Amino acid sequence: MSSGKSEELIRRLRRATIARQKVIVFKPRIDNRTADTKIASRNGVLYEAIPISEISDINNHLTDDIKVIAFDEVQFFPKELIQCIRNLTASGHRVIAAGLDTDFRGHSFNIIAPLLAEADHVSKLDAVCMQCGGKATRSQRFINGKPAPFDAPQIVVGGDEIYEARCRTCHTVPHY
C-alpha cells in the first residue's frame, strides 16, 4: 500500500514496450478504484489493462505476438493464477506480477507464498509509515476511523480513505 507497486509495474511495462515487446496487462475485475480498463499509480500514471473475473478469461486475450504478460493487484486473484503463470512462463512468456504480500492483519494473502516460490526475481517495495515516518510494510485498515478488528473480512477494495501505510510497530489489529 503506497509503496509504488503499480508505478514500478508500469515502469517495467514501458521498458518492455521501448524494447518493442508486445505487452498485455490484466487486473482483477473487483478492483474498481480506477477506470475499468486501466491500472493506475498513485502519481496518476495510467496503463491499459483488461479486467478479468475468471482465470480462464486470460487465454481469450492472448495472441502469438505477446511477449510480456502482467498482473496488477495479484492478491485479488484466485490461486488458479499460479498454474496459469507456470503455463505462461513454460511457453516462453515473461510474466510480471505486482501486488500486496500481506493483508490488513499482516498475514499473507493465500496466493502470495506459492507465487513467490514460483518467481525468478522478487522486488519487495516499502512505503513510509503514516504514523512515525519509518519503513512501512503493513496496511492499516480503518473502519469508522478505528483499526479494523482481526475478524473483519480479508479483502476490502479501497484506497487512502480506509487504508494507511504503517511500520510493524505502529500497525495494530485489535483482537475482538
| Statement: the pTM of the whole predicted model exceeds 0.75 | yes
Q: Are residues 157 and 84 in the same domain?
A: no
Give the contacts of 166 (CB within 8 A, at least 6 positions apart): 129, 130, 131, 136, 138, 139, 140
pLDDT digits (tens, 9 = 90+) for 15-61: 999 999 999 999 999 877 666 888 888 777 889 999 999 999 999 99
Task: Provide the domain count of the chain.
Answer: 2
* 176 assigned to some structural domain: no
* 171 assigned to some structural domain: no
pLDDT digits (tens, 9 = 90+) for 3-22: 788 899 999 999 999 999 99
The residue range of the domain holding 66 is 5-118
* 174 assigned to some structural domain: no
Q: Are residues 90 and 109 in the same domain?
A: yes
> Which CATH number characterizes residue 143's domain?
3.30.60.20
* 102 assigned to some structural domain: yes
Q: Which of 7, 48, 54, 73 is catalytic?
A: 73
Task: Give catalytic status of residue 73 as yes or no.
Answer: yes
pLDDT digits (tens, 9 = 90+) for 112-163: 999 999 898 999 999 999 999 999 999 999 999 999 999 999 988 888 889 9
Q: Are residues 82 and 34 in the same domain?
A: yes
Measure the CA dihedral 83/19/62/65, to 10°: -120
> Which CATH number characterizes residue 77's domain?
3.40.50.300
- Alpha helices, DSSP H only, in 2-108? 5-18, 80-90
* Amino acid making up residue 117: A
Q: Are residues 112 and 135 in the same domain?
A: no
Q: Are residues 67 and 103 in the same domain?
A: yes
